Structures are given as C-alpha cells and as structure tokens.
Structure 1
Amino acid sequence: MIFTGPHAPTPVPETAFTSFVLEHAGRWTDSVALVDLAGEASFTYGELVAGVRRVAGALRARGFGRGDVLALLAPNVPEYPVVFHAAASLGGTVVVLNPLDTTEDLLTHLGGAGAVVLVTSEEQAARAAELVAGSKLREVVVFGQAPGATPFAELLGHDGPADGSVSDPASGPASGAGASNPVSGPVPVVAVDAASDVVALLHSSGSTGRPKGVMLTHRNMSANVLQTIGGAPLDEGERVLAVAPFHHAFGLIMVMNASLRQGATVVTMPRFDPQAYLQAIQDHRITRLYVVPTIAVLLARSPLVERFDLSSVRTIVSGGAALDPEIARLCAERLGCRVGQGYGLTEGLVSFMQVEGSPAGSVGRATPNIEFKIVDIATGRALGPGQEGEVLVRGPHVMKGYLDAPQATREVLEADGFLHTGDLGRADADGELFLVDRIKELIKYKGQQVSPVELEAVLMTHPKVADAAVIGVPDEEASEIPKAFVVVREPVTAQEIMAFVADRVAPYKKVRQVEFIDAIPRTPVGKTERRSLKERERAAR
C-alpha cells in the first residue's frame, strides 16, 4: 500500500534554486532578511539580492561558473546565504562543511567534491593552508581578515557584470528550455537543468560507513522548501532564530532557505549557548524556533527559562531526532505555543510533518508531493496500516544520488524512485507515521549523525584493544550518546579509551561511555549484533 499526505500535489518549478528562493524578494525590499545576534551585520531583502549579484560577479570574474564547486566552511552568519546563492546562481555546486569536522575529514570532502574556492570564517582560516595544500582549492575567502585569504568584503564590493553568459531573470528565461525566472530584482542566474544539475552537496553516513556526499539538485532543493512551507508555513513578519547549522540539511533547507522564500527575518546564531539562546529569543522577539530535542528539553525543564520573556514564540518545530511527546507537551504548556515535529533525512528531508490533530508519538503525515510505503524487511512486500517494516519515501525532494558512489546509491534508491530510509516504522489508516526503531545504525547526537563503524575503526587502532563495537544509548539531553563495548588485550581505563578516540574525531563524535566485555556478539559472517548490545544496555538500566 502506498500512503500519501493531506496536501494536494504542489507543482515544483523547473527553475534555478536561487530564482525560486528569491522570487518574491522585491515584496520585502526594505525588510530585514538576515541579522546577527548583536545586530551589527544585517541584510535587508534588497541588500541580499544586491549582495548575491555582486558576489556572483566577483566569483565569475575569477573564472567560477557552471559545474564548479565552492566550499562553505563557516558557522551561521548573515553572509552565509549570500555566498550560497551567489555560487548557485552561477550554476555552481556548494559543498557545505561542518566546522567541527577534523582537518582530515575536510580534506576528504574537499577532494571528493573537487572544490576550487573555499569561503570560511576567521576562526577556521588557520586551517586554510593545510586545506589548500591537500586539495584543488585555488582561493580562500574569509569573512573578516586572515593572512593569505581574500576578504569577503572584496567580493561584496564587486561592481562589474558577471559577464555575457549570465542572464538577468528580469529579461527572460534563465533556467532551462523556456523556463521563466520571475525573480524580483537583478539577480543573475545562468541556465541550469533543474532536475539534474547539483546545487548542494551535503554529507551523510547513510546506513553505515563513512560519510558520503549527498547530491541535491535545484529541483530537489525547491521541492524541499515547498514541503517545508506546506507542512510548517510561516506567517507574514515572522522572525526565525537560526541555530540549526546551515551545513546540516535541517538548517540549510528548513531554516535558511524556506524562511527566505517566505520573507521572514532570519536571526543567525553561530553556536548554541543556553543563556545566549534564550536572550536572543527575548531580544529579537523570535516567533519561530526550529530545534533539536536537546533544545526542546532546555525549553521544557531548565530553570533558566524563567529569567527570560519568551512570549513572542508562536511555533516550535523539532527535527534531527525523535522528540519525546512529554517534552513536546511541557514545551507547549510552558511557552504557550504550538510544538510539532517532522521527519526526514539528508537524502530526502521534510518527508513528514505533524499537522493539527496528529497523535502523540507520530512524526506526522507526508508533506506535499510525498508518497511512502512500509515494506517487509525480508521480502520487500508492501504492508498495510499498523504493520511494521522499513519506511520508504518517494518524491521530487529525493536526492540525485551519492557522489561517486553508484553502488551505495543503488542500495538506497529503487528504480521506481523510492528511497530506503533504513528506519523501522508503521503507519495508521490516516497515514500518520510512527517510527519504531532505526534499522540503520547511525547514532543521533544532538541532531548530528555519528557512524558507529567509524568509531569502531578508531577504537581498533588502540594497541590495547582487541575488539570493539559502538551503539547509541538514550540520553535525555543529547537524544543519544555513543557507547563503546571494548574487549581488551591488557588493562586500560575507560578514560584512556575515551581520550584516545576524542583526539582523533570531531567533538560531536566522541565516545562518552565505555563498558568492558569478554566478547563482542557477532553473526556467523562477522557482523556486529548491535541489537544484542542494545538489549544488554536496556536490561542494565
């Protein structure tokens, strides 16, 4: 059985993504589009459009064009979408990178993507020389000043034309054969094939293994924004606090681009700090919060909340991991607002969103243009309401595929367009989806994806470790934390093991608990039986 949601199908424009996002910018020319916490850096919608045009011209003057790749390595700042859309408007691909990743991880991502320009922050610029030496990068641009880097202000001040290959959408088609581009304002947009040209490259571990590049086309991204708007629309004049990282699909699509499409004011927050977060809500009169469950716990239970005026908040949307229904209820009661959650994955975000009346525990119903089915894990047979199996989704938002990984792509994308989510769930007769467990083994730590396989590989390089396995264990604050089960060759402390791993991975990937055991449970073919370890963990609690 194939399930659909309550929304009527929504046409997805076959236009360049920048044209779609900034289509109505002319309506809000003098309204603030982006502002930092201190109010020192900001762009009105008119300035945003002009900034995209100028930075695009500067990039084009440097030889950047359709098919080239720009890397963005920065926290959430007002300049982020200017750079993203400047590159996208030229037909380029933007690979968004996590500042918390190790230099080794970043070099792998840069090399795989073939990035030629890196735009980064002053804090990250110290790594630039090493990143340039190990990749195809030919220029580093920095928000601010840094030795050997081009100041972003130089690009923003560019006043020359992009060149004759760039068309002004106000003067005609710019996004494929016969397509119109009704962008308000002079944003240059080159012709692209919206269905096949990749505009964004994010990284996801998929079901197992090291992160893979997720290729999202212009059409994928536009569809995702439409699904966000259909499932969680913003009213006129809303103010959104952007703490979900723009390098993550949640932040890039739902927070940044869907908000700009709807004319909201986006207040950027470079890193999460509880007191600063609450202060920002009060100072900027934030109306919409996009949160991960960790932040929802803060809002529901922290005594800090009582010190701030959060009465401006109308809606909270949770994503990144499952939200406890009790935490959702406490948030709603404490702040006097609506709390909902959605579900998706990097390969196909905004697949589900709770609607009014969604039962507790549901992640919602399918968003516009989405079909889904529940299939038997062993046979692949489609199941009916109430039956548990793997969740598969299909729609225009589903990725083009994994970068340079055709086999991995075939493993998750069926020929008919259905995407394997790796999640176990069931749907009721109304199409409400309930997630039961993850078939795939990723750990969700504060909304970040952590691969157990990657951590196990690090653990196995410790000279005193004979065998190891990693699972995610529940944690109220972080949703899940990585726990290692370790078989040792000789005595070693848990602290030594955790420190060893922490020195070799990004901070969010650290092992946070260690248990020593006699043997790792494995299948006859040698695969780790994580379910056995999870059962052991549940029994011990």
Structure 2
Amino acid sequence: MFTSPYAPVEIPDLSIYDYLFGDIDEADLDRPAVTDGKSGESTSYRELITQINAVAGALASRRVAAGTVVGLLSPNSPEFTSVFHGILRAGATVTTLNSLYTAEEIERQLLDSGATWLVTVTALLPAAAAAARALGLDDDHLIVLDGEEGHPSFAQLLAEDAPAPVVRIRPATHVAVLPFSSGTTARPKGVMLSHTNLVANVQQARDLIGVVPEDRVLALLPFYHIYGMTVLLNLAFKQRATLVTMAKFDFVDFLRLIQDERCTYVFIAPPIAVAVAKHPLIDSYDLSSVHTILSGAAPLDGALAAAVASRLDCRVLQGYGMTEASPVTHLIPIDAPHLSRASVGVTLPNMECKLVSTETGEEIELPAEGVSERGELLVRGPNVMLGYLGNVEATRHAIDAEGFLHTGDIATVSALGEVTIVDRSKELIKYKGYQIAPAELEALLLTHPHVNDAAVIGVNDEDGQEIPKAFVVIVAEAGVTGEDIMTFVAERVAPHKKVRRVEFIEAIPKTASGKILRKDLRAREVVAP
C-alpha cells in the first residue's frame, strides 16, 4: 500500500452544517459568501447562514426530517447554496439532479432515491412538474425557487421565519447526499455519502487545494455534481472564500466573469482547458486576476496544462476522484510545483491506496525508483461512500472485504508517490493482443493545431477485430481530412496504437463534469450504416 506524503488530519465528528458554519468568526460573517454572476448581487456569510436556518425551519414545519429525501433540480445560484444546506440542516437527505435531465430521467432518479419532495426553478419546471405528477407528488411538495403560482417559493420559505429544528444524527452513518453516479457505462446508481464523508473530504483537501478567504472562486462546475458540491460549495465556504456563480457554461460569460469579478481560483474540466489554451477570445479579456486553475473529472494532458499555464501566467493543478469517494482522492497540492502536470498528484491525507494487476489480480510492487507497472487503483479512507442505495451486489463489487474502493481506473505510481491515471480499465482497447489507452490517444489528438476536441473508442473492423476509432471536432474550415488525422497520430505512436478510423462530429458527448460519454459514441456505431 501507499499513503499520503502529508500527515493525517483530524476528521471532526460533526454534521456538514456544524463543520462549515459552527465555528465561523464574527469577522467573517460580513464577508461575501456568494455572488450571483448574472446580477452581481452578493450574499454575505451572515445572510447565508440566516437563510439556511430559515429554509431548515420551513421544511421542518412541513415534516421534512431525517429519513426524508428531497430532490434538488437547479442550476448554480445563490439560492441553491441556501436550499442545499437548508435541507441538510433539517436532517433530511438531498439527491441532486442534472439540470439537463428530461422528465423521464428526473422521474427515474426521484423514484430510485425515494424522494418525496422536489425543489426546482421555473426554467426547469415543465420537466420537473411532469416527473412530479408521474410520481404523485402534489404541488405543495414541488418548491419553485423563483416563484410559480400554486407552489412554495424560496421567498416564502424565508418569510415564514420558522426556527431551525434541533437535529440529532450520527454523522458517520447518516446519509447526507445521494448523488447518482455518472452512468457512462451503466445505469446510474445512488451513492450514499454521509455527513462524515463530506466533512472528511473537505478536511483532507482544503490545505492542499489552498483556497483562502481572499479568493474569489468561479463556480462554473455544477453544484449538483460531486466535484462542484465538494470543492466549490463546501470547501470554498469552509475557507470563507467567495463563490461567483454561473448558471450555465458560456465561454464568453466565463471570460467576462473572471475579468469583471476578478476571480482568482478557477476549477475546470479538461474541455475548458482546451478552449483556454487555443481560443483567440482569450486575448480580448483581462484574466490577470487568476492565480490558480485546478482541473478534474477527466485526465488533463501535461502539454495542455503547460499551454494553459503559459497563456494565463498562472498555476495549473490537477486532481482526481469519483463520486463514490466524495470525490477527491488525489491532487497536485498548491505547494508542490515540482510534480508533473500530467499526473493527478499525490494521495490525500488519511487515505490508503494500492495498485492491482488487471491480468492477475495481484498487488503491484511499489518502485524503489522510477514508475510502477500499470494496475487498477484501489482507495480506502473516511471519504469513501457507505454504499450504493438499495444495491448490495453493486456495493460488494465496488468495495471489497478490506474496505478498498475499486475505482476501475488504471494508474501508475512513482517512487515519490505521484499517481498518473492511464485510463479506465473498462475502456482499454485490445488490438491484436496489445492494450491501447484511449486517453493517451485523446491527449495526443488535442495537440493537433486544428483539433478542438476528440474521443477514442474501440470498434470492430471487417474482421471483427477491435481497432481504435477517433471522433474528432475540428476548427471550422480547417480543411483537415481523416487521413491527415491518422497520419498525425501514426507519426507519434507505436504501430499498434495508430488510429485506424476517424469520424468528424460537431461535439463530443460528455457529462456535466467533463467525462466523455463513450456509451453514446458506441451507440452511434450501432445505428451507423
């Protein structure tokens, strides 16, 4: 096993509310906690805490308590932060939903999670209302934050001024949130994360990420996703920083908000790094306030990270995790510039890891020097989920008898403890007995001057043998052919790794957190003539 180079940290036995706000200094109460990127209006920590308690009181008066599951379907906004923590403050469980979901997808998650309440906004009300009706939820159980006749609103909850309830829970076993795994390879499953899981992950990551009270953190990543939930919504609040919310991603708005709000710390996914490195609009905005960019959710190529760092003259870090680990397990610390930008850094405090051969199941020896062999990464620590809701078999498959979470990701570790993610074990392409990592080819394709985005999957050729196929998004009017792309790759990789088919598409399908939806690309192959 290998562990963190950093000393263990104390994990308080507290609810997430008490952990984040229970010890706030008087001097911090009037700091801005959240700024609405659209209106520019700010909510102070004093106002935020008041709103959280008011929401908790209003919900408690409606018999929302421990055992109640509340769905939250909303883009990023100051109201989201108050309602999310208000639900937790009332002792209930939050299941956050992707704001791009259809009515059927909303209905499925509400049903699977056992939710009896739903909170949304008017822009998403048609789909939300259809799902609520299908499940028999009445209008009183469908809260519309920005107001809709016949439904409770955020303003109404605050106006009731009901006292927050006294809640007694066991943080280590009480389910705080039920995010659903991304479902890139299977039907999404409800991930049971306790208050302790959430508290632990912030405590483990806060010093390494290095957000400070003076930081203005751009909240581009959706709060409904565990990445945004932990490193933005919770960690930024614990550090008394200011969140600047974006309801949806628009590249021009992204640049404008950084410039106008003087954002200092920006969390992104790799597709945004591509745009920052290559888009000409960058030169039209003053982004000098940014001192750090941290990328997560998918592997970030080292050369691309270097290009971003050079263009913005800032620090570029990378992190790794998964919903089942709350999510962060590894990251490049803010004080470790010597680590490779192509790696995901080192193991977080209080965690144990090991690599296991995908061929033999045996543990891979740690190297005395250099880099280890490749193997599946297994992790264990206080941030690992309680299990999958109502799915004992899937839980046993994910967490072994020793308590190690099997990530399904292939990695290497250096003698210095530096971890590099190679690829998903389920996504490895086997060409004539050779294993090919799609992420490696994707990183290479992104270095092509006329490629905006790319994804690689294994497809069968005429002989039924698996070969690498690239889906490529090119710069408009670039005049690049599929043969050009294949030649570019062939000149830079071993013969067995060559891309053997290319398809140009308008956009690579991805989750909100930036993970490539390879199942969608495979579906294109099924229906293709």
The alignment's TM-score, normalised by the length of structure 2, stands at 0.80
Task: Output the CA distance in 2 between the equivalents of 1:518 and 1:82.
Answer: 44
- Alignment partner for residue 154 of structure 1, among 142, 153, 156? 156
Deviation at 1:41, TM superposition (A): 4.1
What is residue 91 of structure 1 aligned with on the other side?
91
**2:190 aligned with 1:204:** no
Q: Which moved more, 1:233-242 or 1:309-318?
A: 233-242
**2:375 aligned with 1:373:** no
The 1:514/1:393 distance shift into structure 2, 3 A limit, reads closer
What is residue 230 of structure 1 aligned with on the other side?
207
Task: Output the CA distance in 2 between the equivalents of 1:28 and 1:128.
Answer: 37
Query: Which structure 2 residues correspond to residues 344-363 of structure 1 after superposition, within 5 A?
Result: 344-348=321-325, 349-355=327-333, 356=336, 357-363=338-344
For residue 79 of structure 1, give the secondary structure of its aligned residue in structure 2. Answer: helix
The 1:210/1:516 distance shift into structure 2, 3 A limit, reads closer
Task: Output the CA distance in 2 between the equivalents of 1:429 and 1:506.
Answer: 34
Query: Which structure 2 residues correspond to residues 522-541 of structure 1 after superposition, within 5 A?
Result: none
What is residue 53 of structure 1 aligned with on the other side?
53
Query: Which structure 2 residues correspond to residues 377-388 of structure 1 after superposition, within 5 A?
Result: 377-385=358-366, 386-388=372-374
Deviation at 1:430, TM superposition (A): 1.1
AA aligned to 2:106 is: L
Task: Output the CA distance in 2 between the equivalents of 1:266 and 1:486.
Answer: 49
AA aligned to 1:436 is: V
Task: Output the CA distance in 2 between the equivalents of 1:511 and 1:206.
Answer: 11
Task: Output the CA distance in 1 between the equivalents of 2:527 and 2:289.
Answer: 55
On the 8 A contact 1:240/1:267 being kept in 2, the answer is yes
For residue 205 of structure 2, give the secondary structure of its aligned residue in structure 1. Answer: helix
What is residue 16 of structure 1 aligned with on the other side?
15
What is residue 390 of structure 1 aligned with on the other side?
376
Task: Output the CA distance in 1 between the equivalents of 2:234 and 2:115.
Answer: 22
Task: Output the CA distance in 1 between the equivalents of 2:385 and 2:409.
Answer: 17
For residue 202 of structure 1, give the secondary structure of its aligned residue in structure 2. Answer: coil
Query: Which structure 2 residues correspond to residues 142-541 of structure 1 after superposition, within 5 A?
Result: 142-162=144-164, 166-167=165-166, 190-205=167-182, 208-348=185-325, 349-355=327-333, 356=336, 357-385=338-366, 386-441=372-427, 474=442, 476=446, 477-478=452-453, 480=455, 511=520
Deviation at 1:6, TM superposition (A): 1.5
On the 8 A contact 1:485/1:514 being kept in 2, the answer is no
Deviation at 1:71, TM superposition (A): 0.8
On the 8 A contact 2:317/2:341 being kept in 1, the answer is no
On the 8 A contact 2:56/2:86 being kept in 1, the answer is yes
AA aligned to 1:283 is: D
The 1:515/1:141 distance shift into structure 2, 3 A limit, reads closer
Deviation at 1:158, TM superposition (A): 2.0
The 1:513/1:372 distance shift into structure 2, 3 A limit, reads closer
Q: Which deviations, in whole Å up to 9, do the C-alpha atoms of 1:184-203 show, x marking residues without a partner?
A: xxxxxx11111111001111
What is residue 466 of structure 1 aligned with on the other side?
none
On the 8 A contact 1:245/1:252 being kept in 2, the answer is yes
The 1:205/1:378 distance shift into structure 2, 3 A limit, reads farther
What is residue 480 of structure 2 aligned with on the other side?
none
Deviation at 1:506, TM superposition (A): 9.2
For residue 390 of structure 1, give the secondary structure of its aligned residue in structure 2. Answer: strand
For residue 123 of structure 2, give the secondary structure of its aligned residue in structure 1. Answer: coil
Task: Output the CA distance in 1 between the equivalents of 2:286 and 2:305.
Answer: 19
List gaps (5 residues or longer) in structure 1. Answer: 168-189, 444-470, 488-493, 521-541
On the 8 A contact 1:25/1:49 being kept in 2, the answer is no
Task: Output the CA distance in 2 between the equivalents of 1:109 and 1:327.
Answer: 36
Deviation at 1:381, TM superposition (A): 2.1
The 1:222/1:315 distance shift into structure 2, 3 A limit, reads same
Task: Output the CA distance in 2 between the equivalents of 1:89 and 1:113.
Answer: 19
Task: Output the CA distance in 1 between the equivalents of 2:306 and 2:420.
Answer: 17
Q: Which moved more, 1:472-481 or 1:391-400?
A: 472-481
What is residue 69 of structure 2 aligned with on the other side?
69
What is residue 125 of structure 2 aligned with on the other side?
125
Q: Which moved more, 1:123-132 or 1:62-71?
A: 123-132
AA aligned to 1:203 is: F
Deviation at 1:129, TM superposition (A): 2.7
Task: Output the CA distance in 2 between the equivalents of 1:254 and 1:437.
Answer: 23
AA aligned to 1:160 is: A
On the 8 A contact 2:217/2:243 being kept in 1, the answer is yes
On the 8 A contact 1:207/1:422 being kept in 2, the answer is no
Q: Which deviations, in whole Å up to 9, do the C-alpha atoms of 1:304-334 show, x marking residues without a partner?
A: 0100000000100000100111111111111
Query: Which structure 2 residues correspond to residues 17-36 of structure 1 after superposition, within 5 A?
Result: 17-26=16-25, 27-36=27-36
What is residue 500 of structure 2 aligned with on the other side?
none
The 1:81/1:303 distance shift into structure 2, 3 A limit, reads same
Deviation at 1:288, TM superposition (A): 0.2
Task: Output the CA distance in 1 between the equivalents of 2:394 and 2:232.
Answer: 29
Task: Output the CA distance in 2 between the equivalents of 1:395 and 1:286.
Answer: 32
The 1:483/1:128 distance shift into structure 2, 3 A limit, reads farther
AA aligned to 1:90 is: A
AA aligned to 2:419 is: L
List gaps (5 residues or longer) in structure 2. Answer: 367-371, 430-437, 447-451, 463-470, 472-502
Deviation at 1:378, TM superposition (A): 3.7
Q: Which deviations, in whole Å up to 9, do the C-alpha atoms of 1:112-166 show, x marking residues without a partner?
A: 111122111111112233112222534111121224322211012221224xxx3
State the number of aligned residues: 453
The 1:37/1:515 distance shift into structure 2, 3 A limit, reads closer
The alignment's TM-score, normalised by the length of structure 1, stands at 0.78
The 1:90/1:324 distance shift into structure 2, 3 A limit, reads same
On the 8 A contact 1:293/1:479 being kept in 2, the answer is no
On the 8 A contact 2:192/2:386 being kept in 1, the answer is yes
Deviation at 1:300, TM superposition (A): 1.3
Tell me the C-alpha RMSD between the 2 structures. 2.9
